[in-house]
A and B are shown apart, each in its own frame.
Chain A
Amino acid sequence: MRFVHVVAFSAAMAAASSMLMPYGTQAADAPAFTIKAEGGHFSPSQLEVAANRPFKVLVISAEKTPIEFESFELRRERVVKPGETITVNMPALSPGTYKFFDDFHRDTPEGAIVVK
């Protein structure tokens, strides 16, 4: 990077505080559902949730190594360490089936969130 670029970049970074992307929190009353990862399986492997309403998914891992709870359709990717519980915010969704999987263990059967 040439010097002018460094200067331009620093200026842009300084100005960046005025153009920060907002990162969301979620309504405290959003319903929560639990999925447990254990013995190479998600249980339940299918979760039924209501359409058009944000919700949370608590992912508990009883595995001995980290897992990665991931969904392409839902654009979620979270590492869960052994014994940890994480909370994943989900948006209001239209009816349909949204798959999730463990990206660290591709032989773990996929699960799905079924929105009705």
Chain B
Amino acid sequence: MAIVAIQFIPVQRSNPPIPGDLVAPAPVKNTLRAACYDCHSNRTRWPWYGALAPASWLVVHEVSEGRRRLNFSDWISYTADPATASHKLEEIAEFVSSGKMAPWYYTILHPEARLSPAQRRMIASWARREAGRIAN
């Protein structure tokens, strides 16, 4: 009964426009798209389980928190302040190397986001190189 009732509490599940997406070599971009874009872009593939409360609240919360912390669809905004962009890149390298991102609970239902050690190294080395390029 309670489960049925909460389905009527509306949640925001939208994909806003894309101001300016990250530009990166295809292997990097494809990996980020598969493992990160659901939470860190305006291209969220809203999952089926996210249509049901209370999971929907969790998913919506993760996506809105993920988007405001790091949004690849609005990368262009970071680029106007290069030190912010390089800071984000350093964080990407750090969170991906340590295995903190993508979150483990997300990878249970999204095996494509389970990155191999080699994929993690690829993302981290791209991010560090790009951060270094911006800093100079």
Contacts and interface: CB of A to CB of B under 8 A. Distances in A.
Contacts of B44: none
Contact of A21 (B23, B26, B83): B23
Contact of B26 (A12, A26, A74, A88): A12
Contacts of A79: 87
Chain A interface residue bracket vs B: 20 to 34
B34 interface: no
- Residue among A16, A75, A89 with max Cβ neighbours from chain B (10 Å): A75
A78 B75 contact: no
Interface in B51-101: 68-69, 71, 74-75, 77-85, 87-88
Contact of B71 (A13, A15, A75, A88): A75
- Residue among B78, B80, B87, B116 with max Cβ neighbours from chain A (10 Å): B80
Given A9-B122, A72-B68, A75-B71, A22 B79 contact: yes
B25 A15 contact: yes
A77 B69 CA distance: 9
A17 B87 CA distance: 21
Interface in A54-95: 72, 74-79, 86, 88-91
- Residue among A26, A76, A90 with max Cβ neighbours from chain B (10 Å): A76
B83 A16 contact: no
A86 B71 contact: no
B25 A21 contact: no
B3 interface: no
B77 A78 contact: no
Interface of A: 1, 5-6, 8-9, 12-13, 15-16, 19-26, 72, 74-79, 86, 88-91
Given A24-B82, A90-B81, 4 more contacts: A6-B118, A13-B126, A16-B25, A75-B74
